[in-house]
Amino acid sequence: MMISDRLKKSVKAIGKARGFIMLGGLCITILVAVTYYFKPSYLSLLELKLYDTYLQHSYSPIQTNFVVIVDIDDQSLEEFGQWPWPRYRVARLLEKINKAGARSIGLDILFAEPDRTSPIVMKKALKRDHQIDIQFQGVPDSLLNNDNLLAKVLEKGSYVLGFSGIFLKKNLKKNPTTLPELKALQVRKAGAFPAYHYLFSAKDVISPLPVLLKSAKNSGFMNTITDQDGVLRRTPLLISWEKKIYPQLALATLLAASDPQQPDPVIKISKQGIESIIIGLPIRQFP
């Protein structure tokens, strides 16, 4: 009898232990599920910091010559003067970069207004504000308008201009410019919507001057998104405007550098959103 009682007590103890283990496991599962659903800000911030640590330890010092950044830094400003520079100077810089062998050049500068340093613009301003009518002697017609001068340079190379999307409210000044949209093939799974449905949608855009936009090979948006701690870790590759798709400046520059015979990009879409963007892959090879 004593052995039987001890066996029963052992079985009960084991049963209670299993019950506590199962209850504990269930509580942990519920806690993890609730945390994942509500995503407390402190956990999101911790995830971002862990991501930073991972990048710092996985950083490779090996450099390539595929991408080169031409930075207008403090030294440049000390030598050539304050920003913005006259656009004839920007045009000269772009010519030098193009002659150096760049396959495409993306400009993260928004040329939305006429160059105020153009002689023709200065002449109109003096006439309007001071009723002074000045004449430029010995200045070729090609140098009277810096924007036209820059446009002629843009025609001779693979240049991509930057534009800015407006997401909070519409621009009060109507913008008649038509931006070149992304030419891409959309492959949608059953139940998936068109790509623009899943993208940040701009209410309006601030685009480059029409004379410049017409001369450039392409354009791309320059908007970025910072995380909750103010650090820039990612940027969207696509946005939509009036149900059309537009590429980010880096993506547009990459496409401009690609072989002209290369197929259009392929956007793969599921019900959850855009899964991938395939560049340089013929549709017959698309999985």
- Map residue 6 onto helix, strand or coil: helix
Prediction pTM value: 0.79
**Domain assignment of residue 40, yes or no:** no
CB atoms within 10 A of CB 273: 12
**Domain assignment of residue 5, yes or no:** no
- The DSSP symbol for 235 reads -
Beta strand 159-166 with 105-107 is parallel
What is the C-alpha separation between 150 and 115, in angstroms, rounded?
10
**Domain assignment of residue 68, yes or no:** no
**Domain assignment of residue 103, yes or no:** yes
- The DSSP symbol for 225 reads B
CB atoms within 10 A of CB 32: 10
Domain that holds residue 118: 74-285
**Domain assignment of residue 129, yes or no:** yes
CA atoms in the 13 A half-sphere facing the CB of 99: 7
Q: Which residues contact 243 (CB under 8 A, 6 or more apart)?
A: 194, 196
**Domain assignment of residue 35, yes or no:** no
Query: What is the tens place of the pLDDT at every residue in 53-107?
Result: 888 888 777 877 788 889 999 999 999 999 999 999 999 999 999 999 999 999 9
Q: How many domains does the chain have?
A: 1
**Domain assignment of residue 39, yes or no:** no
Query: What is the tens place of the pLDDT at every residue in 200-232?
Result: 999 999 999 999 999 999 999 999 988 888 888
Decide: residue 181, CB within 10 A, 0-12 exposed, 13-18 middle, 19+ buried: middle
**Domain assignment of residue 145, yes or no:** yes
